[in-house]
């Protein structure tokens, strides 16, 4: 039997994470775990390991910042995120369904590490298993993932699987934090369609700082429906984890306002390059910035094809030449690099850049390659939306502080009570004027629901475009605008939250509690 003592042995062995060198990319390696066998008991965390979250930390004021590191774009090869190897895998019979369930077991230490973000400088970051970003986990639909986290940081932490449909006790609720020396085991059933999810810290009051410092990683769920599609696979299927940062001349990663964060990172490196073949690639785009929007386009204005939103494939492909992502939002696109000659390069830009350079990364076309992939006209089947049982309204404000419906987050107060299996319409309004400014923050909001996935029905009473019409867990709510979403509560009863995913906002209280009751 694999018990807590075995898992602790695995944890002290080091993180089983690595970044694969591919197409001229930069390698990074961490020690591998030794696999074990047997069944896993459901581990409860002792009460005394839970810690009250700290008050939200403010961004550094401009006069507190040091000299900025001067970085030349495209000095780094972009690392390719490699999949973490399970410490153990086993099968067992589900007590509910009687079916055989496969389980992969992982263990991660949360600790500080020194990494090179800007060429020639070492920066101290927070890591999962010693990696920045955290190691990628690949899961299969219906196969359980068990993930034990060990906190070796001074900050309290908890881990949320963003976009995951998981029981409440494994959701990473904001107050279920673990202090230094503590540990907690999460179980993810993965009973949902293929999607590009991610995991990150969610400790209330410290989540913005913890994520900014590095506590985030990619979590991919695949299924048979997705695998049957002739989309680019293997080395031609790449997550691009994008965020802003501020690196000082001495290498320090400073917790600063977006306007003071001119360094744009992809997979942990500042404005990298990546060598590609002249063929189609599937790019999974992540905006993990804690408080900024990005708008991505190629410098030559070339078109690409969007195939997915946050929670999985669209019904059909959508041709675009620019895509906007708010904090925590994801999209998947197909880019055909065969339109460029071998030996040429093309830059991916952020047209929503603040004071910084617009470049995000550069693709270098270095070789020819066979390409049997294609983009089908039909990607997924979407059922009709059920008739909603009720409507709710959420007013988001930013002045004098960040509130939803005039209230700041109180974990003891139930803001929404609903029933498992219910369908609702939520109208979310950002009533701040477009010209309103709050120092250090974007006044855009990034509305995120835990447990529930939703469909965006309209913006400002107008139907949304096809690129936003898929299943989502995060939606942009710009100043002066309103969004209507169809929310379906399925999976598990229990306590969950909804909040702005510009994490400076949620750290300051822009969050509410929702209790999902059994039928």
Q: DSSP assignment of 263-282, as one string?
A: EEEETTEES-EEEEEESEEE
Distances from the Cα of 19 to the Cα of 132, 283, 465, 495, angstroms: 10, 17, 36, 36
- Count other Cβ atoms within 10 Å, centred on residue 342: 14
186-245 pLDDT tens trace: 999 999 999 999 999 999 999 999 999 999 999 999 999 999 999 999 999 999 999 999
Is residue 443 left, alpha or beta, with left meaning phi > 0 and alpha meaning psi from -120 to 50? alpha
Quick check: helix, strand or coil at residue 339? helix
Distance between CA atoms of 288 and 198, rounded to whole angstroms?
9
Q: Residue 33: is its pLDDT beyond 70? A: no
Q: Phi then psi for 215, rounded to 5 degrees?
A: -85, 75
Question: Distance between CA atoms of 228 and 87, rounded to whole angstroms?
Answer: 29
Residue 92's pLDDT is 79
Bigger pLDDT: 435 or 230?
230
Cβ neighbors of 357 (< 8 A, separation 6 or more) are: 73, 262, 264, 271
The predicted model gives 482-499 an average pLDDT of 97
Residue 474, H or E segment: strand 474-477
Q: pLDDT at position 62, please?
A: 86
Residue 323 bridge partners (DSSP):
296
Confidence of residue 37 (pLDDT cuts 50, 70, 90): very low
CA 171-177-181 angle, 5° bins: 125
Could you write out the DSSP letters of every residue in 19-88? Answer: EE--TTPPPEE-PPPPPB-S-B--PPPPGGGB-PPPPPPPPBPGGG--PBP---TT-SBPPEEPBPPPSE
Of 30-44, 305-319, 419-433, least confident by mean pLDDT is 30-44
- pLDDT mean over 86-94: 86
Please identify which residue in the block is written with the tokens 């447990």: 451
Please tell me the least confidently modeled range out of 3-7, 296-300, 317-321, 405-409. 3-7
Mean pLDDT of 359-366: 98
Has residue 416 got a pLDDT over 90? yes
Mean pLDDT for the stretch of residues 74-94: 92
pLDDT category at 57 given cuts 50, 70, 90 is: confident
N- to C-terminal Cα separation, the chain: 36
CATH fold for domain 234-368 = Immunoglobulin-like (2.60.40)
What percent of the chain has a predicted confidence (pLDDT) above 70? 87
How high does pLDDT run on average in the chain? Answer: 89
- Nearest partner of 240 among 101, 406, 360, judged by Cα: 360
72 or 41, which is more confident?
72
Let me know: does 420 contact 493? Beta carbons within 8 Å: yes
Report the distance separating Cα 19 and Cα 29, nearest Å: 6
Domains 4-224 and 234-368 share a fold: yes
Q: What are phi and psi of 439, to 5 degrees?
A: -50, 130
Give the pLDDT score at 436.
65
| Degrees to nearest 5, angle at CA 444 with 442 and 445 | 115
Confidence check: pLDDT of 30 > 50: no
pLDDT at 146 over 70: yes
How high is the pLDDT of residue 216? 98
Q: Quick one: tokens of 370?
A: 């066979």
Q: How far is CA 69 from CA 9, 247, 294, 503, in A?
A: 40, 6, 22, 25
The residue ranges of every structural domain in the chain are: 4-224, 234-368, 390-517
Domain covering 4-224, topology: Immunoglobulin-like (2.60.40)
Amino acid 132: pLDDT = 98
The pLDDT of residue 346 is above 60: yes
Which residue would you say has higher pLDDT here, 70 or 278? Answer: 278
419, burial (CB in 10 Å: exposed 0-12, middle 13-18, buried 19+)? middle
Mean pLDDT of 155-182: 96
CA 50-516-96 angle, to 5 degrees, is 85
Q: What is the pLDDT of residues 45-55, one digit of tens each?
A: 444 445 566 67
Token pair for residue 300? 């030559």
CA 401, distance to chain mean position in Å, is 25
pLDDT score at 16: 35
Q: Is 424 helix (H, G, I), strand (E, B) or coil?
A: strand
What are the backbone dihedrals phi and psi of residue 76, each rounded to the nearest 5 degrees, phi first?
A: -105, 145
In terms of Cα–Cα distance, which of 202, 226, 197 is closest to 309? 197
Which superfamily, per CATH, for 390-517?
A: Cupredoxins -  blue copper proteins (2.60.40.420)
Mean pLDDT of 165-181: 96
Q: Where are the alpha helices (DSSP H) in 64-189?
A: none
**pLDDT at 299 exceeding the cut of 80:** yes
């Amino acid at each position: 039997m694999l018990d807590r003592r075995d898992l602790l042995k695995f944890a002290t062995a080091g993180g089983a994470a690595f970044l694969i060198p591919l197409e001229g990319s930069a390698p990074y390696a961490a020690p591998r775990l030794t696999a074990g066998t047997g069944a896993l008991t459901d581990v409860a965390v002792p009460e005394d390991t839970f810690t009250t979250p700290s008050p939200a930390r403010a961004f550094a004021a401009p006069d507190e910042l040091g000299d900025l590191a001067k970085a030349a774009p495209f000095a780094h090869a972009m690392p390719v995120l490699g999949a973490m190897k399970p410490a153990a895998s086993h099968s067992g019979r589900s007590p509910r369904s009687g079916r055989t369930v496969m389980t992969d077991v992982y263990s991660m230490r949360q600790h500080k590490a020194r990494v090179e973000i800007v060429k020639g400088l070492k920066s101290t970051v927070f890591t999962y298993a010693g990696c920045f970003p955290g190691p990628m986990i690949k899961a299969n639909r219906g196969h359980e993932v068990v993930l034990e986290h060990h906190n070796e940081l001074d900050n309290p932490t908890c881990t949320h699987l963003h976009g995951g449909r998981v029981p409440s006790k494994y959701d990473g609720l904001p107050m279920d934090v673990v202090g230094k020396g503590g540990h907690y085991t999460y179980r993810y059933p993965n009973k949902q369609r293929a999607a590009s999810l991610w995991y990150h810290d969610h400790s209330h009051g410290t989540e913005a700082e913890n994520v900014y410092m590095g506590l985030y990683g990619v979590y991919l769920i695949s299924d048979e429906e997705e695998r049957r599609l002739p989309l680019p696979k293997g080395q031609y299927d790449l997550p691009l984890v994008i965020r802003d940062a501020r690196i000082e001349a001495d290498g320090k990663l400073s917790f600063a306002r977006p306007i003071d964060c001119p360094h744009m990172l992809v997979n942990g490196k500042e404005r990298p390059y990546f060598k590609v073949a002249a063929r189609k690639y599937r790019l999974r785009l992540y905006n993990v910035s804690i408080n900024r929007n990005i708008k991505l386009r190629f410098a030559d204005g070339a078109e690409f094809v969007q195939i997915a939103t946050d929670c999985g494939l669209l019904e059909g492909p959508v041709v675009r030449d620019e895509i906007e992502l708010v904090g925590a939002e994801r999209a998947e696109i197909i880019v055909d690099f065969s339109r460029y000659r071998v030996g040429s390069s093309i830059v991916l830009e952020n047209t929503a850049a603040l004071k910084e350079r617009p470049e995000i990364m550069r693709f270098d076309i270095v070789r020819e390659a066979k390409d049997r992939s294609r983009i089908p006209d039909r990607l997924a089947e979407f059922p009709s939306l059920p008739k909603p049982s009720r409507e709710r309204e959420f007013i988001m404000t930013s002045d004098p502080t960040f509130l939803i419906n005039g209230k700041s987050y109180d974990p003891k107060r139930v803001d929404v009570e609903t029933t498992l299996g219910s369908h609702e319409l939520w109208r979310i309004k950002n009533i701040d004027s477009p010209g309103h400014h709050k120092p250090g923050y974007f006044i855009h909001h990034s509305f995120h629901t835990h447990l529930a996935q939703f469909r965006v029905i309209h913006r400002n009473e107008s139907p949304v475009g096809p690129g936003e019409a898929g299943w989502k867990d995060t939606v942009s709510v710009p100043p002066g605008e309103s969004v209507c979403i169809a929310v379906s509560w399925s999976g598990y009863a229990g306590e969950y939250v909804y909040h702005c995913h510009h994490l400076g906002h949620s750290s300051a209280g822009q969050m509410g509690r929702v209790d999902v009751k059994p039928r």
